[in-house]
């Protein structure tokens, strides 16, 4: 197959668990309040997966919706990439489990991308480049997280922030030039890995009764440092990507930022000299869903008709690693 002129997002889909946990409910188990959580983060509630409801299950539902909206069948997919920091199992990949659940073909590559909250942006660049090579016509990209499984529910500084969900996109080769990713930056700073990490549960320190008792398998974060870096790095990445594309922030119809904290998003908007009206928000209802947050926000913006054919859309994320990514897209109207 020859290399296509563009790679577009043909459709999007989402899934969030039914169970809603409000700030008020959390304030009954840790020393916090609805007022503190709302003013410090912008979060009002989050969804929490039930037992047996794993990233591959949530991802399968989001993917099924994206496939249905595109009028495609599982056998039409040539490549599966899953972005997650909470895989169902240490191995094999969540992508392999999802492949089986969706009934995708067996002659296709299926793999996970591990870039935490930047996972969907990393995955979009990787999957888009693979389709752009001409080897694969359609890719399924899924961001799926069950952060409730790694949160320390006694740590008020982190447990109020995270939630579970999945989002999916079907990418497709397109003959019209000038659509899809126009410019992008993916970056990482591993020297800051300990600002946001889990100390145990990997091969360096396998899970044991002692690590579990010490809560070392749970997420730990230096929130203040992450906050400062997030604003600076996301705004800088947006500026560099816009400059590389010969564009500027005023021409972007919609920014889709990773939804970690409304104050981080306000800081990015301010540094770019923009108002908040071009930054769709969903963290009030979902909290920080890591690799699922950008597809959740993108799907909502698309469903509400806020993104139109030919618009410039800038996806920007930041997360553990530390990792970041910004991708400038020319939107091609997907199927409904």
> Which residues of the shown chain bind ligand UT7 in the complex (CB under 6 A)?
32, 36-37, 40-41, 117, 156-157, 160, 196, 223-224, 226-227, 230, 260-261, 264, 288, 318-319
Query: Residue 33 or 335: which CB sits closer to ligand UT7?
Result: 33
| Residues belonging to the chain | 336
Active-site residue list: 117, 258, 288
Provide, for the chain, the percentages of residues in helix, strand and coil under a 3-state DSSP scheme, each rounded to the nearest 5: 40, 25, 35
Nearer to ligand UT7, 196 or 301 (CB): 196
Name the one residue in this structure whose structure tokens are 């908040």: 276
Minimum distance between the CB of residue 263 and ligand UT7, rounded to whole angstroms? Answer: 7
Three-class secondary structure of residue 329 per DSSP: strand
**Residue 81 near residue 102, CB atoms below 8 Å:** no
CB of 280 to ligand UT7, least distance (A): 17
Tokens, residue 188: 């990482």
Whole-number Å distance between alpha carbons of 9 and 330: 10
Under DSSP, the state recorded for 20 is E
Would you say 77 or 196 has its CB closer to ligand UT7? 196
Nearest distance, CB of residue 104 and ligand UT7, angstroms = 29
Q: Which residue is nearest to ligand UT7 (CB)?
A: 223
Would you say 58 or 221 has its CB closer to ligand UT7?
Answer: 221
Report residue 91 as tokens.
Answer: 């191995």
- Structure tokens that stand for 303 in this block: 């469903």
Contact 281, 105 (CB under 8 A): no
Closest CA to 320 of 85, 133, 94: 85
């Amino acid at each position: 197959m020859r290399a296509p002129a563009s790679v577009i997002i043909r459709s999007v889909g989402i899934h969030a668990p039914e169970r809603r946990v409000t700030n008020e409910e959390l304030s009954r188990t840790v020393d916090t309040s609805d007022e503190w959580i709302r003013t410090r983060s912008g979060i009002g509630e989050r969804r929490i997966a039930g037992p047996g409801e794993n990233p591959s299950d949530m991802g399968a539902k989001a993917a099924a919706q994206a496939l249905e909206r595109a009028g495609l069948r599982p056998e039409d997919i040539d490549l599966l990439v899953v972005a997650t920091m909470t895989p169902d199992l240490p191995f094999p990949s969540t992508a392999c489990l999802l492949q089986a659940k969706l009934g995708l073909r067996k002659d296709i590559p299926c793999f996970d991308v591990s870039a935490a909250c930047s996972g969907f942006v990393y995955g979009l660049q990787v999957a888009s480049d693979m389709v752009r090579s001409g080897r694969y016509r359609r890719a399924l990209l899924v961001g799926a997280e069950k952060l409730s499984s790694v949160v320390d529910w006694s740590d008020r500084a982190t447990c109020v922030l995270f939630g579970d969900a999945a989002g999916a996109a079907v990418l497709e080769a397109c003959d019209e030039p000038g659509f899809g990713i126009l410019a992008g930056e993916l970056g990482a700073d591993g020297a800051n890995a300990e600002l946001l990490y889990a100390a145990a549960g990997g091969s360096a320190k396998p899970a044991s009764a002692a690590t579990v008792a010490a809560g070392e398998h749970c997420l730990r974060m230096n929130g203040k440092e992450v906050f400062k870096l997030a604003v600076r790095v996301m705004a800088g990445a947006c500026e560099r990507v816009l400059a590389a594309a010969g564009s500027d922030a005023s021409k972007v119809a919609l920014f889709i930022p990773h939804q970690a904290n409304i104050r981080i998003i306000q800081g990015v908007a301010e540094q770019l000299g923009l108002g908040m009206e071009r930054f769709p928000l969903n963290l009030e209802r979902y909290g920080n869903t890591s690799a699922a947050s950008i597809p959740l926000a993108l799907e909502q913006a698309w469903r509400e008709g806020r993104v139109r054919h030919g618009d410039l859309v800038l996806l920007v994320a930041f997360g553990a690693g530390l990792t970041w990514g910004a991708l400038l897209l020319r939107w091609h109207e997907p199927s409904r």
